[in-house]
């Protein structure tokens, strides 16, 4: 199961105008939900299905396919050492970008998220994947992540409590997405 | 000094509640040991050799009387009636009970204090000149800028899980008393040729097992760009810093591996894209912070003569010369309170002494106290006419040791007695040196000299930048000590040179004595140790120390 901010599901991921991104808020409007994960990650050595609609590949494979003019999946997964800017030519075609956290103490993904939202202007679903702890999710949301696929998924009540704790923060250019979590 | 806004208060309260909740979840088994460790570290809570240790932030070393009273109250209520001032201007409690820590954090929040980011791989407490706002050699008061950095770095969503800890120091003075060259980022307030204020920015300095002097990454950064530039440096570090090896994860290793020019290019490229979007601040913001740090009111009447009592009280005279410094108002003096008496470990202070200092600050120093990275305290604004009364009061509480800058004003990490990393018992070395050189007149003859003692390679005692550095090492289960000479942390920072092979514990005081005798022999007139060392080099010291040992 995924935890996700409502209204950023794959069906209407572009519903929020780009201006919202430019002004620093993260696309969303509303509640956190749990939903099924329709997407599949294909490791680099696995054959890809015909239909790429819900297919995720590594950034390396994605860029290789782009280089070879092959059809592109709509999902990509960034490892900590990958570059976000390499995706800048393709972000319009992407519906899902996953940021992998192999261990929760590796903080590179926060910068990935921030750069994807701010630098590339990516407004699709941005999903944190891997070893993610409940007490970190507030910071992930503020960096631009809007869904979570965790090894140990926290319950939604705890997430709601943790992400609602701070009314104020010292970095106004990293806002919590529209106080969405309060109304979960 | 800075007063919390309603938002600051609510924020720190939320942090207290958050930690209480984390402790509760840990007790219920909902947080595993490792995750709880990461979370508690970000509130300054370590688990040390014997017990938990709580490190409380003293932002840029500034304390009010009310706050110091509260620190004393915490020491007497929840700890063993004392606290320990660290080399990063913070205070540590060595024996708190985990279940009491939320209550301690609440007591801190009640007086606008916290323990946020005093440990963990995140941006630590920003440090500065303990004499900020009180000296004539200042270009601008660094404290408003430190407060700005404190706020920016507090729970920054992007930089809370860095490769390693990250320390920023700021100096506003021409004479660096904040050791900015040995910090991850060092900031020097300067004026450019158009008389605009900005920062010289240094990066990649640090001590530890691979000491580096910081490199200049930018000659002049307009002050309005401070946070966006810091953001760019942190972002490059967060992405490129090594995470595969704990000992190679500090920014100094990255800067040295890339070379300062390539690192600068990476930062400037990042900054060019982000300077208008991330963490900008308005002129009103910084002006409002500046308004919170007014100058001490100018005193009328008196002259700039020393107090008359120096002629009748030799001990007072000694203390006046050794422990007070010029204030920008000639009718005031800056007073140092030495926490290096022979009766207690360096940096330690009892609850009773804390209450005394807090009361005296209220009476004589506009309720303001500073902590220094040399592990002493400062009353920054004392009227000259009150010095004698102040001295008498301090003297009655063993707080008037007249040794500031002298041999016995040693910097000492907690060592084997408290720290789980240490190889060596630094406190016993401190005692050994104190016992050997108990004659203050001899210390005055030597002039300013610094001994800095670290119990392990992590160099919390800053041994690399001591005139005499002492590093504890372990050799087949025994404590040995490696000496370095000629280190320096001021304007022209230098790392000490290794004197030779390590010496056994019992021989440390002998070795120091040989070094000092060589200094006295080689010294010309009133030269400082540093000047003599620069002139004669390490050879004569090596000769005498190892001749004695053999």
For B423-449, write each residue's pLDDT tens digit: 888 999 999 999 999 999 999 999 999
ipTM rounded to 2 decimals: 0.93
Angle between the N-to-C axes of helices B508-522 and B529-536, in degrees from 0 to 180, rounded to the nearest 10 = 80
- Give per-residue pLDDT as tens, A10-19: 433 333 333 3
Cβ neighbours of B478 (radius 10 Å): 11
Cβ–Cβ below 8 Å for A170 and B18: no
Cα angle value B243/B245/B251 (rounded, 5°): 60
State the pLDDT confidence band at A178, using cuts at 50, 70 and 90.
low
**Which neighbouring-strand residues pair with A5?**
A32
Backbone angles phi, psi at B481, to 5 degrees: -130, 130
Number of CB pairs, chain A paired with chain B, less than 8 A apart: 86
Gap from B243 CA to chain A (nearest CA, Å): 8
What residues have CB less than 8 Å from A40, skipping those under 6 apart?
A54, A55, A56
Q: Which chain B residues are Cβ-neighbours of A168 within 8 angstroms?
A: 7, 10-11
Place of tokens 């995924």: A2
Percent of chain B with pLDDT over 90: 91
The pLDDT of residue B280 is above 60: yes
Evaluate if residue B49 carries a pLDDT over 80: no
Give CA–CA dist B425/B222, Å, rounded. Answer: 46
What's the rounded Cα separation, in Å, for the pair B171 and B143? Answer: 9
Tell me what pLDDT residue A20 has.
Answer: 31
| Per-residue pLDDT, A105 | 97
**Structure confidence at residue A10 (pLDDT):** 40
A79: nearest CA partner in chain B: B239
pLDDT band at A9 (very low <50, low <70, confident <90, very high): very low
Return the pLDDT at A36: 86
A80, A143, A169 member nearest B155 (Cβ): A169
Q: Contact A133/B238, CB-based, under 8 Å?
A: no
Of B138, B139, B114, B117, nearest to B126 by C-alpha is B117
Name the pLDDT band for B302 (thresholds 50, 70, 90). low
Could you give the CA distance from residue B103 to residue B89 in angstroms, rounded to a whole number? 23
Q: Using one digit for the tens of pLDDT, what is the confidence trace for B136-174?
A: 999 999 999 999 999 999 999 999 999 999 999 999 999
Q: Give yes or no for residue B382 having a pLDDT over 50.
A: yes
Over the Cα atoms of chain B, what is R_g?
23
Q: How sure is the predictor about B418, in pLDDT bands with cuts at 50, 70 and 90?
A: confident
Pairing mode, if any, of strands B91-93 and B411-412?
Answer: unpaired
Please, what sign has the CA dihedral across residues B179, B181, B184, B189? positive
With 0-12 / 13-18 / 19 or more C-beta atoms within 10 angstroms meaning exposed / middle / buried, residue A157 is exposed
**Beta pairing, strands B468-475 & B478-485:** antiparallel
Which pLDDT score, from 0 to 100, does residue A6 have? 59
DSSP symbols for B261-294: HHHHHHHHHHHHHHTTTSS---HHHHHHHHTTSP
User: What per-residue confidence (pLDDT) applies to A31?
Assistant: 60
Residues B122, B145: Cα–Cα separation, whole Å: 19
- For A133-158, the pLDDT digits (tens) are 999 999 999 999 999 999 988 888 88
- Asked whether the beta carbons of residue A107 and residue B157 sit closer than 8 angstroms, the reply is no
Contact flag B14-A166 (C-beta cutoff 8 Å) = yes
pLDDT of A79 reads 97
Per-residue burial over B529-543, b if 16 or more Cβ lie within 10 Å, else e, is bbebbeebebebbbe
Pick from A46, A5, A1, A14: which is nearest to A142 by CA?
A5
**How far from B376 is each of A29, A139, B349, B436, B498, CA to CA, in Å?**
53, 37, 10, 22, 27
Categorise residue A91: left if φ over 0, alpha if ψ from -120 to 50, beta otherwise: alpha
Q: How far apart are CA B532 and CA A34, in angstroms?
A: 71
CA distance A89 to chain B (A): 17
Place of tokens 């005296």: B360
Please give the order of strands across the beta sheet that includes B332-337. Answer: B62-64, B368-371, B377-383, B332-337, B324-326
Residue B266 has pLDDT above 80, yes or no: yes
Q: A21-35, A74-88, B455-469 — which is least confidently predicted?
A: A21-35
Please report the beta strands in B459-533, taking only residues with DSSP state E, as ranges in sequence order: 468-475, 478-485, 497-498, 503-504
In the prediction, which pLDDT does A155 show?
83
Predicted pLDDT of residue B524: 96
Please give the domain boundaries of chain B with CATH numbers for all domains: 6-110 (3.90.480.20), 135-290 (3.30.413.10), 311-395 (3.90.480.20), 411-549 (3.30.413.10)
Q: Which residues of A touch B (CB under 8 A)?
A: 24, 80, 104-108, 110-111, 114, 118-119, 133, 135-136, 138-140, 142-143, 161-162, 165-171, 173-174
pLDDT of B80-91, one tens digit each? 999 999 999 999
R_g over Cα of chain A: 16
Using an 8 Å Cβ cutoff, are B145 and B185 in contact?
no
Q: What sign does the dihedral B32-B38-B44-B49 (CA atoms) show?
A: positive
Give the model confidence (pLDDT) of B178-211 as tens digits: 999 999 999 999 999 999 999 999 999 999 889 9
* Neighbour tally for B377: CB within 10 Å: 25
Determine which helix (DSSP H) or strand (DSSP E) holds B411, and give its type and residue range: strand B411-412
Q: Which two tokens stand for residue A119?
A: 């630098």
Within B279-425, residue ranges assigned H as helices are 283-290, 314-323, 351-364, 387-395
- Nearest beta carbon to residue A106 from set B159, B243, B280: B243
């Amino acid at each position: 199961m995924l935890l996700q901010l409502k209204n950023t599901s794959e069906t209407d991921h572009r519903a929020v105008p780009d201006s919202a991104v430019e002004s620093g808020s993260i696309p969303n409007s509303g509640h956190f939900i749990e939903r099924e994960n329709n997407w599949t990650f294909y490791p680099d050595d696995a054959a890809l299905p015909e239909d790429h609609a819900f297919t995720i590949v590594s950034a390396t494979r994605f860029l290789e396919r782009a280089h070879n003019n092959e059809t592109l999946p709509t999902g990509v997964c960034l490892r900590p050492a990958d570059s976000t800017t390499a995706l800048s030519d393709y972000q319009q075609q992407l519906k899902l970008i996953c940021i992998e956290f192999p261990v929760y103490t590796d903080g590179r993904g926060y910068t990935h998220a921030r750069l994807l939202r701010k630098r590339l202007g990516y407004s699709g679903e941005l999903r944190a994947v891997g070893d993610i702890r409940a007490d970190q999710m507030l910071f992930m949301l503020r960096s631009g992540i809007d869904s979570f696929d965790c090894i140990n998924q926290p319950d939604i009540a705890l997430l709601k409590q943790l992400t609602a704790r701070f009314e104020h923060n010292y970095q106004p250019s990293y806002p919590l997405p529209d106080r969405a979590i309060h109304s979960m | 000094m800075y007063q919390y806004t309603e938002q600051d208060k609510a924020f720190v309260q939320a942090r207290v509640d958050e930690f209480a909740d984390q402790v509760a979840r840990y007790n219920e088994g909902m947080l595993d040991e490792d995750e709880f460790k990461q979370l508690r570290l970000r509130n300054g809570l370590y688990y040390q050799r014997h017990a938990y240790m709580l490190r409380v932030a003293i932002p840029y070393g500034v304390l009010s009387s009310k706050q110091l009273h509260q620190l004393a109250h915490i020491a007497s209520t929840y700890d063993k009636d004392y606290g320990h001032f660290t080399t990063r201007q913070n205070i540590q409690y060595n024996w708190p009970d985990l279940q009491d820590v939320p209550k301690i954090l609440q007591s801190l929040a009640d007086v606008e204090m916290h323990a946020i980011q005093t440990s963990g791989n995140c941006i630590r407490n920003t440090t500065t000149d303990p004499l900020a706002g009180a000296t004539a050699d200042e270009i601008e008061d660094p404290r408003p800028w430190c407060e700005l950095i404190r706020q920016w770095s507090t729970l920054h969503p992007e930089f809370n899980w860095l490769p390693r800890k990250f320390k920023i120091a700021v100096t506003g003075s021409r004479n660096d008393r904040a050791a900015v060259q040995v910090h991850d980022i060092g900031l020097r307030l300067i004026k450019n040729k158009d008389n605009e204020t900005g920062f010289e920015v240094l990066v990649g300095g640090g001590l530890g097992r691979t000491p580096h002097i910081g490199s200049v990454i930018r000659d002049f950064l307009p002050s309005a760009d401070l946070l966006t530039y810091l953001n760019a440096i942190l972002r490059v570090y967060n992405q490129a810093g090594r995470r595969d090896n704990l000992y190679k994860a500090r920014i100094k290793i990255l800067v040295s591996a890339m070379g300062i020019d390539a690192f600068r290019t990476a930062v400037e490229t990042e900054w060019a894209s982000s300077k208008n979007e991330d963490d900008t601040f308005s002129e009103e913001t910084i002006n409002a912070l500046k308004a919170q740090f007014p100058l001490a009111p100018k005193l009328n009447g008196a002259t700039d003569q020393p107090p008359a009592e120096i002629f009748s009280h030799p001990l007072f005279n000694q203390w006046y010369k050794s422990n007070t410094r010029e204030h920008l108002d000639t009718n005031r003096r800056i007073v140092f309170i030495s926490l290096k008496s022979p009766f207690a470990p360096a940096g330690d202070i009892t609850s009773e002494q804390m209450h005394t200092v807090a009361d005296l600050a209220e009476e004589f120093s506009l309720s303001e106290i500073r902590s220094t990275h040399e592990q002493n305290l400062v009353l920054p604004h004392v009227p000259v006419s009150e010095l004698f009364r102040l001295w008498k009061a301090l003297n009655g509480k063993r707080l008037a040791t007249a040794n500031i800058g002298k041999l016995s004003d040693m910097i000492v990490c907690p060592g084997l007695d408290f720290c789980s990393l240490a190889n060596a018992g630094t406190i016993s070395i401190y005692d050994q040196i104190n016992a050997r050189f108990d004659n203050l007149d001899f210390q005055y003859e030597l002039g300013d000299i610094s001994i800095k003692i670290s119990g392990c390679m992590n160099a919390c005692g800053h041994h690399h930048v001591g005139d005499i550095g002492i590093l504890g090492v372990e050799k087949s289960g025994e404590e040995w000590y490696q000496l370095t000479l000629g280190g320096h942390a001021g304007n022209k920072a230098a790392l000490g040179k290794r004197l030779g092979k390590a010496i056994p514990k019992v021989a440390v005081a002998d070795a120091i004595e040989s070094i000092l005798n060589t200094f006295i022999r080689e010294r010309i007139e009133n030269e400082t140790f540093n000047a003599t060392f620069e002139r004669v080099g390490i050879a004569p010291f090596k000769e005498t120390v190892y001749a004695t040992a053999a």
